[in-house]
Structure 1
Amino acid sequence: MVRENQRYKNAYKGNQATSDDYSETGYDRGHLNPNSFQCGEGRIATFALTNAAPMDACFNRNQWGKWEKTLRTFLRDTLTSDGGSATAYIVTGTVPDPNLRIPQSEISEDPERVTVPSHIWTAVCYKHHSDNRKFFSFGYMGENKPEGSINLMSVSDLNTQIKNLYGQNSEISIFVGDCFHDNNKLDWVKVKFQKLINQQIKEKQGDQIMSSDMQSTYVGLKRAADANVVSEKKFKVSQMIIKLAFDSISTYYNAVKDLMIFAGSACLITNMKPLVRSGIGKRDVSGVSDAVECLLVPEKQTAADGSPCSRFFDSVYNCQCTIDGEIKSCCSTPCLYQENLNSYRCYSGQTQIECSPRYSLITYTGEKCLDDHPCATYGYDYYWCKKISGGWDYCSPPLWRSKAKNGKNCRSDHACAKYGSGSMWCYTDNEGSYADCCTSDDCYSAVDGKTCRSDHNCGYHGEDYLWCYTDYQDNWDYCCKSCW
């Protein structure tokens, strides 16, 4: 996969879409082969535009993204329960809308190059290697529009729906024999997707994540866009500012990961309440709303350390970014947190490298960053930003699972970092209490970014404090979670 650039764009523009075709259209570059279903080089390849179809932004990020995630979990769990003695075959396709293409003529000098699908569908055939009783198949299809719902069905019904939508007489067969179609198995599959099915019913009844004011605005805009008075496409939404609110920092990070993978968007924190997690997997404080607020923005081409690129080149071997004459590595894939490494990583071509995500517009003291200089490392070993008031300051790093050596969680707006001192520390409450800390709450993280020895995880080990050996010369240090 080669990232497009102005130098070679015209060479392949006649045969495929380019990123310009999607710009400001309201459509995402929707993955057909999902990024989350692949790893290594296969994951990199999923970001090619030949693996994308124009998906309505709301449909792709909400409904379709959730069904993809549920499908992955369901198949992974089923394969695990069968001891890996099965193969899952997945086919995803689209039904083109003959009357809708992007980019729209109002926004492009080279319009209507890419056909927008009216529907997106996926078919699954699960084939056990030795037990035919464990075969099953199913499919689902969704309408590619903001409120488009997704319907689960048998593969034979999916074949019929595709045939009817294409308006053709010949039969369609995605899998031979519909892959052992069995209605009893379909009922079993429906149970696995019941939560999503129920959620769609609630949303149709108006139980949506938007506030009542936002919902009214959305409905009004949709009615205006669909009305006959604008049938000649004289009306469009040219810009929309979206602010999201979360009940905890953990909820924020989980949502942002999906936004980066599925939509290529970042959500920069604009406000954060100084809360403390009450436990693993729990909310920061029960019943607290709007604990984290962020501004949704498209990801920009930056170096791996967050510095903005003036030019970039991406090939199957590496990604390079030019900044004031200096060449730095850049990311070919989203910059995501890797729990096994306790750091953020991305692929630059085929090489995995450390990276700095764009994640916040506030410093660790609560001051505002410049809009074009959000928190990142920018070539240093700490997170910082330039302030609106002038100068610069440290940012709380995007390490929401950091923990103090006394076993307490770090405050949500003050994750474990040095903040200009000689060792890593964090506040653990709103009263000014602080302690040395670990960047993660796993069993092998020690203070100051050190790692416990693989055969000696963190614990009290007969002492009244948490500690572990950090090498095989019996050197030790404090750690932050009792696992022994």
Structure 2
Amino acid sequence: MFVLGLLTCLVLRAFIAQAKVADNFNECKGFFYKDKEPGGMDQNAKKICQEYEHGGSYYATLYSVTHRIALYSAYTFDPQCSSTTGSFNNWHVEPQISDPKSKTKMMVLEKDLSKYDLTEDVIKKYQAMSSDYSDTGYDRGHLNPNSFNCDEGRKATFTLTNAAPMDPCFNRIYWKDWEKDLRKFLKQQLDSDYDKKSKDTSTIYIVTGTVPAENLRIPQKEISKDPKNCERVTVPTHIWTAVCYKHPSDDKKSFSFGYMGENRPAEPDISMMSVSNLNKRLSKLYSELSGTPQSVKIFVDDCFEDNNKLNKVQKAFKKLIDLPRNQRVQITSDAQNILGAVKRATSSDSLSSTSNVKVRKVEGELVLDSMITYLTMSEEMKSLDESACLITNAKPLSKIVHGELKKRQVSGGSDAVECLLVPEKQKTAADGSQCLSVSDSSGGCKCTLVDKTKPCCSSPCLYQHKLKGYRCNSGQTLIECSPRYSLVSAHGHRCKDDHPCATYGEDYYWCNTVSGGWDYCSPPLWRSKAINGKLCLSNHACAKYGSRKPWCYTDDKGNYAKCCTSDDCFSAENGQTCRSDHPCGKHGKDYLWCYTDNKNNWDYCCTDCSQ
């Protein structure tokens, strides 16, 4: 028991995040330009130096206990961090905010409150919890983006003191695109200004913040019938970002800019502006909110605004700035009518005190512009909304008919994907098999079939990049799983609605089809590659499809080749892995290959990493 207790303490300690709530930002002032914090936004709010175990401060946050959201988070840009967002989805809260006398001087995971003798009632006194966001239609939107951080720093962004309610369309599409272009622009600017002799690099200070609404809060009354748990967290009307680029030696190369948008699902009107103009707009909005004049100042001296580099920055964001407002998210009139009807039926204005309306089922079909967009959004929907989107059509969709490769057409762009929204959590085993019953506990999730039991998922089935496969938690154990992802087979046949593509106990993906019989499915591998260096078609990923070795189509003309399940530097043909000191490359040959063991056995591979 002692050993078990010691291991438990060690595991807990490894995942403890720290945050210091103080009267000032002295311990993390380095995240502010010239060590000076922004002013004019409720300076009575809590000041937090966001830390992680043994990692020092990762960013600084001003948190409003009145609104229970972050007013801003200040951070610096690290170009070495991968732009790929992580699947970490465990959120922290800060006991010191709700109870200054608390002996727990660090962030704690929401699920571990009881281990620190804390309760939800104590935490909820002055801050939000994930339960405040459930079923409200709003995301826990990061201010300091997790995609701008590495490793423990990325995990440290998953605290509700770094979050605010954001509309899903705004957060996952509009704002995310601006974050992506911002990262690309800043990285290019750093590379162009890098001095190889001095090795000095520019410092980029970023502040992302909110403007609280005057009278819009979640959870809405119609969601939570308990008055104590209603309308606790303020929804922001606007989200904004300010950037200060400080060159190490030449101030003429330093500059600043900002942008701001409205937190709504369509036409958020995200616009770029100078920092001084952003200050003016924020001052006006905060003055209207408080009823007294406010003067917002983000950077000292507006950080080299006089250098007038705004036009150059606007050119880098031209695609987003010039995009027609109604082009990003299009909702058909029928869908708008249905959404409007549901909203009216459940609004407090439509209900009398004796009315009782329950929404049992809402279906949705999405058309996404590419398979990459589908992959990103589907993973987020699984982790954030517990929803899956089953592919019903893709373009170009490979379909073999009488020995020829033909294509089906889909409404949308050249790589458009249609999918059907369904609940991610189903009464199924981890391999997709239908269960008669499911029991879920900390010891694991068990699926009972007619003649046996199989493990099932307690958490969403998400792609783990390091493991190069899909995993979920069964209780406390990480297991392999088969995600719900498609209703179309590799040959273009429609799968039965209750039998989507999955492994069902086999070592390949397949489904029962509507036309009778069964068919292979393209596995959910979105970056598989052929040994000729070409990417596999996204709807015909690398798999055996009944053959002896994995293969895939590389175009819609019927060309195919043997393949690797990933496009990284160490994936070889037939599921093998290149030796750690011998990445894939030509290595003096006219084809791609690598050693797969220390006995100099070799095999073909797919990505040239020898240069």
- Write the mapping of 1:65-464 to structure 2, written as runs, cut at 5 A: 65-83=176-194, 85-110=201-226, 111-146=230-265, 147-167=267-287, 168-182=292-306, 184-199=308-323, 202-203=324-325, 206-207=326-327, 209-210=329-330, 214-217=331-334, 232=349, 240-246=362-368, 248-250=370-372, 252-253=374-375, 256=378, 266-272=388-394, 275=397, 289=411, 292-296=417-421, 322-323=445-446, 335-336=462-463, 338=465, 342-343=468-469, 357-364=483-490, 366=493, 368=495, 383=509, 395-405=521-531, 410-418=536-544, 423-426=549-552, 436-441=562-567, 444-453=570-579, 454-455=581-582, 457-459=584-586
Contact 2:276-2:302 within 8 A present in 1 as well: yes
Offset, 1:374: 5.7
What amino acid sits opposite 2:282 in the alignment?
I
What amino acid sits opposite 2:281 in the alignment?
Q
- Larger displacement relative to structure 2 (95-104 or 376-385): 376-385
**Aligned-residue RMSD, C-alpha:** 4.8
The Cα offsets for residues 217-245 of structure 1, whole Å up to 9 and x where unpaired, read as: 46657888999xx8936599966533223
The Cα offsets for residues 150-206 of structure 1, whole Å up to 9 and x where unpaired, read as: 12122222222122112232422222222222261122222222211101xx22xx5
Contact 1:252-1:292 within 8 A present in 2 as well: yes
Secondary structure of residue in 2 paired with 1:182: helix
Q: Which has the larger radius of gyration?
A: 2
Contact 2:410-2:417 within 8 A present in 1 as well: no
1:33 to 129, 136, 144: 144
Residues in 1 aligned to 2:162 and 2:472: alpha-carbon distance in whole angstroms:
20
What amino acid sits opposite 2:302 in the alignment?
D
Secondary structure of residue in 2 paired with 1:473: coil
Offset, 1:460: 9.4
Contact 2:133-2:139 within 8 A present in 1 as well: yes
- CA 1:15–1:406 in structure 2 vs 1: closer, same or farther (change >3 Å)? same
Residues in 2 aligned to 1:51 and 1:301: alpha-carbon distance in whole angstroms:
32
The Cα offsets for residues 85-138 of structure 1, whole Å up to 9 and x where unpaired, read as: 122111121111121111221222132121111111112222223222222222
Residues in 2 aligned to 1:390 and 1:16: alpha-carbon distance in whole angstroms:
55
2:600 to 474, 479, 483: 474
Which runs of 5 or more residues in structure 2 are unaligned? 1-91, 93-108, 195-199, 400-405, 448-452
| Residue of structure 1 equivalent to 2:76 | none
Contact 2:430-2:482 within 8 A present in 1 as well: yes
Contact 2:398-2:540 within 8 A present in 1 as well: no
Secondary structure of residue in 2 paired with 1:91: strand
Offset, 1:389: 10
- Compute the TM-score of the two structures, normalised by the length of structure 2: 0.61
- Compute the TM-score of the two structures, normalised by the length of structure 1: 0.74
- Larger displacement relative to structure 2 (79-88 or 411-420): 411-420
| Residue of structure 2 equivalent to 1:317 | none
The Cα offsets for residues 239-292 of structure 1, whole Å up to 9 and x where unpaired, read as: 653322346544533554676788786433233467469xxxxxx989964553
- CA 1:26–1:187 in structure 2 vs 1: closer, same or farther (change >3 Å)? same
Residues in 1 aligned to 2:505 and 2:254: alpha-carbon distance in whole angstroms:
52
- CA 1:274–1:63 in structure 2 vs 1: closer, same or farther (change >3 Å)? closer
Contact 1:363-1:369 within 8 A present in 2 as well: no
Offset, 1:31: 1.3
- Aligned-residue sequence identity (percent) comes to 54
Residues in 2 aligned to 1:190 and 1:304: alpha-carbon distance in whole angstroms:
50
Residues in 1 aligned to 2:187 and 2:444: alpha-carbon distance in whole angstroms:
37
Contact 2:379-2:462 within 8 A present in 1 as well: no
Offset, 1:149: 0.9
Offset, 1:423: 4.0
- CA 1:448–1:60 in structure 2 vs 1: closer, same or farther (change >3 Å)? same
Contact 1:276-1:409 within 8 A present in 2 as well: no
Residues in 2 aligned to 1:388 and 1:287: alpha-carbon distance in whole angstroms:
20
Residues in 1 aligned to 2:558 and 2:313: alpha-carbon distance in whole angstroms:
52
Residues in 2 aligned to 1:31 and 1:301: alpha-carbon distance in whole angstroms:
29
Which runs of 5 or more residues in structure 1 are unaligned? 278-283, 314-319
- CA 1:242–1:74 in structure 2 vs 1: closer, same or farther (change >3 Å)? farther
The Cα offsets for residues 25-67 of structure 1, whole Å up to 9 and x where unpaired, read as: 2222211111111121222232333322111222222221211
Secondary structure of residue in 1 paired with 2:543: coil
Secondary structure of residue in 1 paired with 2:297: coil
- Larger displacement relative to structure 2 (8-17 or 379-388): 379-388
| Residue of structure 1 equivalent to 2:6 | none
Contact 1:61-1:263 within 8 A present in 2 as well: no
2:157 to 46, 60, 63: 46
- CA 1:224–1:390 in structure 2 vs 1: closer, same or farther (change >3 Å)? closer
Contact 1:370-1:386 within 8 A present in 2 as well: no
What amino acid sits opposite 1:398 in the alignment?
P
- CA 1:215–1:73 in structure 2 vs 1: closer, same or farther (change >3 Å)? same
Structure of higher RCO (CA pairs closer than 8 Å, 6+ residues apart): 1
| Residue of structure 2 equivalent to 1:280 | none
Offset, 1:299: 5.8
Secondary structure of residue in 1 paired with 2:526: coil
Offset, 1:468: 3.8
The Cα offsets for residues 332-391 of structure 1, whole Å up to 9 and x where unpaired, read as: 9x94464x875568999xx999876543344556453655x8656689865567889999
- Larger displacement relative to structure 2 (442-451 or 285-294): 285-294
